Amino acid sequence: MSEHVRVTSHSAVKLSECLVNTKCVKEKQHGGSCRKVQKEPKSFSCDECGKRFSQKSSLTRHMKGHTGEKPFACELCGYRCTQKANLNDHMRVHTGEKPFACELCGYRCTHKENLNRHMKVHTGEKPLACELCGKRFSQITGLNTHMRVHTGEKPFACELCGYRCTQKAHLNDHMKVHTGEKPFACELCGKRFSQKTSLNTHMRVHTGEKPFACELCGYRCTHKANLNDHMRVHTGDKPFACELCGYRYTQKSSLNTHMRVHTGEKPFACELCGYRCTHKAHLNTHMRVHTGEKPFVCELCGYRCTHKANLNDHMKVHTGEKPFACELCGYRFSRKTNLKRHTRQKPFACEHCGKRFSQKTSLNVHMRGHTGQNQ
């Protein structure tokens, strides 16, 4: 009986301890002994930031964040950290170990939290939303990076040229412009690229894939940027203006080419005759003078020519179209050059004597008289 009282008394003591410590529950075994099932109270507080911890060791580790102390160092690269667990994770960089694997697609990673983030790719979960535009993200890092679109912040800068960007990965890609590094090669033609995305886009040249389509006219292209440029055909938007003459263009590249009219620059030269021009396309067309190639053919009569514009003019022979009319007599022509001859317009002038001609070919023949070249 006394033994029974002692056991009951012991149980009462344990029970009283449980009543004091609300983190315990009664377990109906071994005379009513108890066990802890909830977290312990957070009795240890950081003097610097007020964050609380249930264990002294956790507070000690936390304090290293304030003191900057990093007692754990990697023997291979000198990386230092505040916790032994962080060092163990870091060592996987050197060993290549990726112990966490996705059961759905086989993706492997070094950290459990990385796997948790990856799983949102399969679940489609995007719990984080931008308060300004509503775009949603699966990771806080993605949201933070996106916010720079609204703030205009570009924290990553190139030390060589001052280029700035929103992401470290973009800066790494940019640096290849200075180093000339092109690690990504096309297996079909050998062309090399500094970025994987550029290689992926290039492959569409071989596959013929054109994933971007205009909803208004069905035009398709390989680049999203090209589709954006194309849309200006429908909107009439010409945001790029020449500062010298005010002429406007839908694309920056077109403006750059136009500027050669003012500078006189002709960067493209024929290696056979020295002919120079402002456009690469013009040089390609000129080369047909030497090769004799006439890629444009009339399906009605077999007429062949070197320029698409010439074929368009030729087709008027079959259609009877005469869009150019004389304002004085009403006589109509299929070609503008014929109208100029009819009206005695002579836009081509000799630089040596000032004589004028209605056709460029006539001027060329005349010029031989000054140069001494045989006709």
The pTM (predicted TM-score) of the whole model is 0.41
163-181: pLDDT as tens digits: 999 999 889 989 988 998 9
Q: Record the tokens describing residue 125, joined without a space.
A: 């979960």
Report, as an integer, the average pLDDT of 192-207. 91
Q: Return the SS3 of 5.
A: helix
Residue spans of alpha helices (H) in the chain: 2-20, 56-67, 84-95, 112-123, 140-151, 168-179, 196-207, 224-235, 252-263, 280-291, 308-319, 336-342, 360-371
Residue 24 confidence class, pLDDT cut points 50, 70, 90: very low
75-125: pLDDT as tens digits: 999 898 888 888 888 888 899 899 999 999 989 998 888 888 888 888 888
Q: Indicate whether 26 pLDDT > 50.
A: no
Domains and CATH numbers, the chain: 59-125 (3.30.160.60), 156-259 (3.30.160.60), 268-371 (3.30.160.60)
Report, as an integer, the average pLDDT of 232-258. 90
Q: Indicate whether 40 pLDDT > 80.
A: no
Predicted pLDDT at 36: 45
Q: Are 219 and 210 in contact (CB under 8 A)?
A: no
Report, as an integer, the average pLDDT of 9-38. 40
Residue 286 confidence class, pLDDT cut points 50, 70, 90: very high
Predicted pLDDT at 267: 92
The DSSP annotation for 188-208 comes to: TT--EESSHHHHHHHHHHHH-
Residue 13 confidence class, pLDDT cut points 50, 70, 90: very low
Predicted pLDDT at 39: 58
Q: Element (H or E) spanning 50, and its range?
A: none
Report, as an integer, the average pLDDT of 303-326. 89
289-314: pLDDT as tens digits: 999 999 999 999 999 998 888 898 88
